[in-house]
Structure 1
């Protein structure tokens, strides 16, 4: 999926962070950082970790059953497998001692979902002479700015999202169910090269914006209904996202006007997504614009969040960088976001990369209510 030069770039970034924190060894256990740094990731059925020294060769300690796929996918050649009769945390700690780092300063992302209180205490008990160096948020911050190779993979995922959305719109007819629509998208995903057939929320839209996190269920779409489709294909674990409203029959004039206003505000946001822009300023374009136009009574959710690597994690979205009125950080070229707006039963979103002079849309489907002419 990625060149060795790309991994060398990532290793250098991780080691720079280690140097700043004063860590001799980096313990990597979150699924996303494992994938990003080593090329291989696996669920935490049993505890596992990759270990990166500030100087010297890295190694990977994991369940023996996962040893072969790790060797196939990763640039790391020192792969240590342990039997299911062994304890994963003990195996990781033992590998640290055997590699000469039992008394080292060990950096770890204390925000990692794999560092539970029990795991942290267990590791400190097993490595009593080591010093733990907290590096909270490292897994996210290292990955905020995407390389050209990463953006190319996100573009592949975006193409799949575009194809699936247009295929749903082509096949929707009165009486089709949300499950039917999801199955259409799933087929396009798998045939198009996505990692899985998981498609994202496909629901009947209702209310103002509450449908966004609606529970998936089988509902028939009839004349005048809006089918909300959010598609989330992943390629090599890199996920693109896109929302569109699909309506059976011609949309009424007031709904068309609302859609046009949302898209216009979003276009202005995209244009403002240039390197050096303040995130809260970009957020205000949609938030204040939608409220000022009367499209929503309140606007409490974010208007964008980070896109990139998605592995088997407890979270389905990466909120380590979001657009809110309090987001007083600067955008950098190469950051990628899911930019979304919802109101009056409509949802529009794009996968957008931050460019030097403005945002670059990676998803390209028509930005309007996609009409379905009933027979």
Structure 2
């Protein structure tokens, strides 16, 4: 095993075997993989899409990766795939891809493409069909999304390390913040902690002032914090691309009795939700435990958002900051499985609580471990 590889070779071989089983079932002889998350799943190289790149996986034989020549060293250091085709920046990536298909005798293949891929634009799809007129195209949507949902121990370990760094970031923000400090200073503390704890250089999440029921994605402000302000922290860190998330609320100064009561209600409601997260549980039932209780308690008049979603690998270049492959909604019919990792969250009246959790054979394990409480700076 190459020391720079994230997983041993047999893990990638097993992934190839799983993908090929679906290809055979759907009568697909060649699969094109271009979405960044899926490329990483197979090749362990989450390369950006500044220029088009893709992996070609035949039903038999070695996969072939087509990408920019300038990325050859980085790819070779990280990926187990040895059959590569590179292009110069003035060449047409799609033309190189089509040439590669023809050179290997695949021009009459049944080609599988994930029709949900954000990398396969209509223009690219039409051009590829024109370049390879004998190719028959079939939809491969949903397969790779499902295969990457259950995490292996090495992936879980990365998420655990990320969660531990998030916990420490919360601790240090609570210690250092106070009246007169700014949200930007809180973000600076978080960045400092995450880098010190070996996390990837990437975004640190959302730092803003809490209020009402629509603050989760608000902007970071420059104004000095005042007594009684709610500092909302959603800390997000990445270890080799694998992410954890946590939300905590920090009252600048002391919390009111009403705020403490709301926080305790949210925590108690989510405690019951997490306790029910076991293999075989239906997602909509898990969602109902939180959603219905929040509404019944009068903490919100409505609850339009999800109560949790998938966590795992997030490439720096993806347009998605959260993975909604599996979400918790009243309409979610899917079942929980051991090895799934989720970000579960509740929020109301400017306060939020969330955890990164792992579904195990015995139930739910909380990977973020900082105390479940409303924090204050007093």
Instruction: Note whether the superposition's TM-score is higher than 0.5.
Output: yes
Q: 1:286 aligns with which of 290, 294, 306?
A: 290
Q: 1:324 aligns with which of 298, 320, 329?
A: 329
1:231 is the counterpart of 2:232: no
Per-residue deviation at 1:357? Answer: 2.7
2:232–2:351 Cα contact (<8 Å) kept: yes
Per-residue deviation at 1:9? Answer: 2.4
Structure 2 CA distance for aligned equivalents of residues 13 and 218 of structure 1: 50
Q: How many residues were matched structurally?
A: 372
1:271 is the counterpart of 2:275: yes
The correspondence of residues 16-55 of structure 1 with structure 2, limited to 5 A, is 16-55=21-60
Structure 2 CA distance for aligned equivalents of residues 217 and 120 of structure 1: 42
With normalisation by structure 2, the TM-score equals 0.96
With normalisation by structure 1, the TM-score equals 0.97
Per-residue deviation at 1:133? Answer: 1.4
Structure 2 CA distance for aligned equivalents of residues 176 and 9 of structure 1: 51
Q: 2:300 aligns with which of 296, 299, 303?
A: 296
For structure 1, which runs of at least 5 residues remain unmatched after alignment? none
1:87 is the counterpart of 2:99: no
- Note the alpha carbon deviations across 1:279-320, whole angstroms, 9 max, x for none: 000000110000000111100100001111111111111112
1:189–1:197 Cα contact (<8 Å) kept: no
- Note the alpha carbon deviations across 1:70-118, whole angstroms, 9 max, x for none: 1111000111110111001111111111122111111111100001111
1:370 is the counterpart of 2:375: yes
- Residue number in structure 2 paired with 1:159: 164
Structure 2 CA distance for aligned equivalents of residues 372 and 211 of structure 1: 21
The correspondence of residues 1-375 of structure 1 with structure 2, limited to 5 A, is 1-207=6-212, 209-311=213-315, 312-373=317-378
1:202–1:230 Cα contact (<8 Å) kept: yes
Structure 2 CA distance for aligned equivalents of residues 367 and 151 of structure 1: 22
Secondary structure at the counterpart of residue 86 of structure 1: coil
Secondary structure at the counterpart of residue 372 of structure 2: coil
Structure 1 CA distance for aligned equivalents of residues 169 and 253 of structure 2: 20
1:179–1:219 Cα contact (<8 Å) kept: no
Secondary structure at the counterpart of residue 241 of structure 1: strand
CA RMSD of aligned residues (A): 1.1
1:32–1:139 Cα contact (<8 Å) kept: no
Structure 2 CA distance for aligned equivalents of residues 63 and 147 of structure 1: 30
1:204–1:219 Cα contact (<8 Å) kept: no
1:305–1:320 Cα contact (<8 Å) kept: yes
Structure 2 CA distance for aligned equivalents of residues 348 and 110 of structure 1: 36
Structure 2 CA distance for aligned equivalents of residues 216 and 248 of structure 1: 16
1:157–1:239 Cα contact (<8 Å) kept: yes
1:250–1:372 Cα contact (<8 Å) kept: yes
2:202–2:238 Cα contact (<8 Å) kept: no
Structure 1 CA distance for aligned equivalents of residues 186 and 303 of structure 2: 29
Structure 2 CA distance for aligned equivalents of residues 211 and 139 of structure 1: 33
1:112–1:139 Cα contact (<8 Å) kept: no
